[in-house]
Amino acid sequence: MICPFCNSPTKIYNSRSTHGKTQTWRRHICTTCERVFTTRERVDWTGVTTVKTSKDTTGYSKERLLLSIARASNNLSIQPAMLAELCDSTEQQLQQNGFFNEPEQDADLITAAATMVLHRYNPNLALQYVNIVYSNNPPLELVKQLLSPLDSL
Ligand SMILES: [Zn+2]
């Protein structure tokens, strides 16, 4: 990788795994200006195919997930960094559930994982999220679950 400050070659002088070994963190130093910067490497799940309940096929998109979460956070004053963190947690949850191991995935699983992660953080955020995902017409059972105590999810 070249230096983002002066475009000279850089060296990696430290690296470690983070987020349960799903990410690699590397510290680089520029061989010319000697400035230090950090990169984070993680799997890019873009291109994994998902299937909606209507059986339309759509690519998994982390951006779309983040956008839905960001829209749901409207009026809840949640830091952008926290939204990204919640998006990462959702992706990690999906990964742990084997979501990315299947050749085709049900898009509802993304919603379910995101709803669970968001609900743990802020129940109102989870409610607004399902409203957005289901275009203001979320399944009643899901809303009931979100309104009941945490352990029922
Ligand atoms: Zn440099």
Q: How far apart are CA 70 and CA 85, in angstroms?
A: 11
What distance in angstroms lies between residue 21's CA and the mean position of ligand 1's atoms? 29
Query: What is the average pLDDT score of the chain?
Result: 85
Helix %, strand %, coil % for the chain, to 5? 45, 20, 35
What distance in angstroms lies between residue 25's CA and the mean position of ligand 1's atoms? 19
SS3 40: strand
What distance in angstroms lies between residue 81's CA and the mean position of ligand 1's atoms? 27
What distance in angstroms lies between residue 9's CA and the mean position of ligand 1's atoms? 7
92-108 average pLDDT score: 82
What distance in angstroms lies between residue 84's CA and the mean position of ligand 1's atoms? 29
What distance in angstroms lies between residue 2's CA and the mean position of ligand 1's atoms? 8
What distance in angstroms lies between residue 28's CA and the mean position of ligand 1's atoms? 10
pLDDT exceeds cutoff 80 at 24: yes
User: Could you read off the pLDDT of 9-20 as tens digits, one per residue?
Assistant: 999 999 988 777
* Confidence at 41, pLDDT banded by 50, 70, 90: confident
- What one-letter code names the amino acid at 102? E
What is the reported pLDDT for 51?
60
CB 25 within 8 A of CB 18: yes
What distance in angstroms lies between residue 15's CA and the mean position of ligand 1's atoms? 19
